[in-house]
Amino acid sequence: MALLPLISINMEQKKTQESWFAQPLSFLSDGFQSLFSGLSLGVRGTASEYVNLLNIKKDNARLQSELAEIKTRLKLFDESQIEIARLKNILDFQKNTKMELLPAQVIGRDMLPDHKTITINKGKKHGLKHLQAVITVSGAVGYVFRPSEHTSHVMLITDRYSVFDAMIQKTRARGIIEGTSKDGGILQYIDRTEDVKSGDIIVTGGLDNIFPKGFPLAVVTDVERKTKSATLIVNVKPVIESNKIEEVFVVIDAAHEDFFPETTTAAVETPTKPEGNN
């Protein structure tokens, strides 16, 4: 009975040394402890990863939302940049010309495909009258034909009812542009001996008392030479795409301004697309 306690008392006196019979026990306990500790670490790690995953999912959703917002802002920024450039261009044009111009915004288009007209947000109240020229930085658009108090209708050069005095910039040959209600027009009464080629610039002639002389009007797309005709049939395309016009100028007073050929060529060759909504 007393033997085992005595042995244990004796063993307590040599604490630094592990007894030979305790070593396997310690070995086992160490092994089990290490095993469970490892297991515990694994469980904690997995749990922690799971919690992290949950957080990552939340973070991901938040970041994606932020990214979408930033992308939207960037698009708006790009759009604003384009608009600023366009408006600056328009402003520069208004500053650098002698003409008295009234800026207007396009608020409507013709109800029928058979006619090519637009409605602008300026009318009699703003000083608009019948047959005033409507232009953009890149070229002629049309003329005011039905001014009302606050808005006005503008007949485009592509309408089949519109007729304008025009001339070929290079040869100075005069003719008349008639609209076709499609996307173009026909330059008529050009002598068949004239040297007209595709790509030639047509400018306003100035005799119609609507447009100042020399303003870009259209570009030649095709020339028909009929054998029995004394004149050419020149198909033209306006320099302004009528379905993309957003802002225009109404010429209140042309101040006898004529555009030099060099200026018009530059204006047509380096279009800034002020009317584009791309």
Residue ranges binding other proteins (CB under 8 A): 107-115, 117, 119, 145, 153, 155, 159-161, 178, 180-182, 243
Nearer CB in complex with other proteins: 179/214: 179
Query: Judging by beta carbons within 10 Å of its beta carbon (0-12, 13-18, 19+), is residue 208 exposed, middle or buried?
Result: middle
Tell me how far, at minimum, the Cβ of 160 lies from other proteins, in Å: 5
Nearer CB in complex with other proteins: 171/235: 235
Rounded to 5 degrees, what are φ and ψ at 48?
A: -65, -40
Q: Can you tell me whether residue 10 is helix, strand or coil?
A: helix
Nearer CB in complex with other proteins: 60/277: 277
Tell me how far, at minimum, the Cβ of 132 lies from other proteins, in Å: 17
Tell me how far, at minimum, the Cβ of 107 lies from other proteins, in Å: 6
Spatial distance between the Cα atoms of 185 and 202, rounded to a whole number of angstroms: 11
Tell me how far, at minimum, the Cβ of 258 lies from other proteins, in Å: 30
Nearer CB in complex with other proteins: 37/243: 243
CA angle 266, 271, 272 (to 5 degrees): 125
Nearer CB in complex with other proteins: 194/275: 275
End-to-end CA distance of the chain: 103
Tell me how far, at minimum, the Cβ of 108 lies from other proteins, in Å: 4
Q: Which of 122, 123, 119 is nearest to 149 (CA)?
A: 123
Tell me how far, at minimum, the Cβ of 62 lies from other proteins, in Å: 33
Alpha-carbon distance values, 218 to 137, 176, 177, 208, 226 (Å): 14, 12, 9, 16, 22
Nearer CB in complex with other proteins: 110/247: 110
Spatial distance between the Cα atoms of 239 and 233, rounded to a whole number of angstroms: 19
Tell me how far, at minimum, the Cβ of 117 lies from other proteins, in Å: 5
- Cβ atoms 223, 82 nearer than 8 A: no
List of E strands, the chain: 100-109, 117-120, 133-135, 140-147, 152-156, 163-168, 174-179, 185-191, 201-204, 216-224, 231-238, 247-253
Tell me how far, at minimum, the Cβ of 57 lies from other proteins, in Å: 38
Alpha-carbon distance values, 91 to 84, 94, 179, 244 (Å): 10, 5, 30, 19
Nearer CB in complex with other proteins: 114/262: 114
Nearer CB in complex with other proteins: 241/257: 241
